[in-house]
Amino acid sequence: MADGTKVADVDEVPESGSYLFTAADAFTTETEIVLVRCDEEPGVEAWPNTCTHERQRFDRGDGAAVRDGEIVCPRHGSMFDVCSGACDNGPAAGTELPDVEIEVESGSVFLTDDNYSFLHAGGIDDDGHGSTSHISL
Where are the domains positioned within the chain? 5-121
CB 98, CB 86: distance < 8 Å: no
| Global pTM value | 0.89
> How many alpha carbons fall within 13 Å on the CB side of residue 110?
12
Q: For the chain, which ranges sit under pLDDT 70?
A: 1, 127-137
Report CA-CA distances (Å) from 86 to 98, 107, 122: 9, 26, 24
pLDDT at position 55 = 84
8 Å CB contact between 105 and 91: no
CATH of domain 5-121: 2.102.10.10
